Structure 1
Amino acid sequence: MKTLLPLIAAAALFAGCERIEGQLNVTKAVKLENSRGNSRTIAVGTYTADIKANTKKKITLRLNNESDEKYEFNIPDGSIPTNGTFSYKSATVGQPVDLSGSVATNVTESGIGQTTESCQYQQPVQSCWPLPNGGMSCSTHMETRFGTRWIQYFDRTTSRDVGLSIAVANTNEEAAQFSGHNTTVERVVMNASQCR
């Protein structure tokens, strides 16, 4: 059995690239600039929406309506906390609104388990062919083979609740609020046998 360093996929922070599904509740018509640079007014109402941090410096709010429009908010690099609050003025986010919010993250880990899983490995294969003047010529190339391996693992579950408040620029007058939730599960492999 071959012991491996834990194969841990970094838990996606909100400032990563995960999408948070939720709802946008607009209590006062709010004007935003969409990703194409056009000014749009979002009417009072409740919208299915999601937010995504495409980079560590930008949050994108997407309304799941007929227009499927996207609105981008600039943020300082890596400044969204895993747990905690944040607040940025209109001049920072590049929109005619102020943006604030909160993130609550909970991480749990399962007990250690074991199983077998499918895998791939490379195997050298020799090919030979006759030469015109007699004799043989051979070469070796690698081919992909499919197999199984035994693994020892645990599952890490990350649950995240995100709230955003959109306010009229330079006031405390909230115009809209986004509330969303996301849960991801990653398998962390602690030990594994050779793939065969």
Structure 2
Amino acid sequence: MKKLLILISALALFTSCDTLTGNFSALDNISLKDSKGKTVVIEQGSYLESKVKLKSKKRIRLIVEGITYEFKIPRGVKIPTDNGQINLTSAQVNQPYDIAGDIRTEVEHGDTIRDRESCTWDEPYTVCEVDANGRRVCRTQYRRRNGWKDVQFHYDIISKYLEVSFLVPGSETIVADFDGDERYYQKVYEYEGRCF
């Protein structure tokens, strides 16, 4: 039963997409440029279920109330996706505010599971024919076979946490912040037997 629950959970959260969901808080009314370059006012308050997407190397996306705001990443600047700090100026991100934050990743290793999994393998076989000169010519071909293999694996439970502050340019005055997280599972094989 424990294996089944882990597998069901893993199917639901198997792959990371580097989208962190959380709370965006505007301490006052603020203006940001949306993905079309139009200035939009975000009113003071908390916006649950906001998202930050870190998928791209060229931009960070903030989604608040269904509106996407893009923060450009300058050429040559690497934004950490696992652990590290984010510090970019207003001019660099092409938005009215500097951004400063931290991303932190924790990995918890699950229990080892021994199981059997379906697999495929190529079975060689020999085909012989008589050529135009009357000689017998043989060659090896392969056919795909279904089989089973013994496996041993565990799931890594990966939790990412992101805290970002939006600052008045050139100061430490915070006008808004985002606090979000993401959790997903990654299957790690410790042993894979031969497919037969």
Question: TM-score of the superposition, structure 2-length normalised?
Answer: 0.72
AA at the equivalent of 1:36: K
AA at the equivalent of 1:102: D
Give the structure 1 partner of residue 167 of structure 2. 167
Q: Tell me if 1:71 matches 2:70.
A: yes
SS of structure 2 residue aligned to 1:69? strand
Post-superposition offset of 1:125? 8.8
> Structure 2 CA distance, aligned partners of 1:193 and 1:44?
58
Give the structure 2 partner of residue 133 of structure 1. none
Give the structure 2 partner of residue 149 of structure 1. 149
Post-superposition offset of 1:85? 2.9
Could you give the per-residue CA deviations for residues 95-152 of structure 1, whole angstroms, max 9, x where no partner exists? Answer: 111000112221122343311123344557999xxxxxxxxxxx99866554432111
AA at the equivalent of 2:55: N
> Structure 2 CA distance, aligned partners of 1:147 and 1:176?
56
Change (3 A) 1:41 1:145: farther
> Structure 2 CA distance, aligned partners of 1:33 and 1:99?
14
Give the structure 2 partner of residue 41 of structure 1. 41
Q: Which has the higher helix share?
A: 2
SS of structure 1 residue aligned to 2:55? strand
Give the structure 2 partner of residue 24 of structure 1. 24
More displaced 10-residue stretch of structure 1: 140-149 or 106-115: 140-149
Change (3 A) 1:192 1:28: same
Once the two structures are superposed, the pairs formed by residues 73-92 of structure 1 within 5 Å of their partners are: 73-74=72-73, 77-80=77-80, 82-92=82-92
> Structure 1 CA distance, aligned partners of 2:141 and 2:69?
49
Q: Contact (CA 8 Å) 1:74, 1:94: kept in 2 or not? A: no
Change (3 A) 1:126 1:62: farther
SS of structure 1 residue aligned to 2:150? strand
Post-superposition offset of 1:193? 1.9
Q: Tell me if 1:176 matches 2:168.
A: no
Give the fraction of aligned pairs with identical amino acids, expressed as a percent. 24
Q: Contact (CA 8 Å) 1:34, 1:72: kept in 2 or not? A: no
> Structure 2 CA distance, aligned partners of 1:117 and 1:77?
43
AA at the equivalent of 2:73: N
Q: Contact (CA 8 Å) 1:154, 1:188: kept in 2 or not? A: yes
Q: Which has the higher strand share?
A: 1
SS of structure 1 residue aligned to 2:156? strand
AA at the equivalent of 1:59: I
Q: RMSD of aligned C-alpha atoms?
A: 3.2
Could you give the per-residue CA deviations for residues 46-78 of structure 1, whole angstroms, max 9, x where no partner exists? Answer: 22211111223421111243xx33433425532
* Unaligned ranges ≥5, structure 1: 1-15, 128-138
SS of structure 1 residue aligned to 2:185? strand
Post-superposition offset of 1:166? 0.9
Give the structure 2 partner of residue 12 of structure 1. none
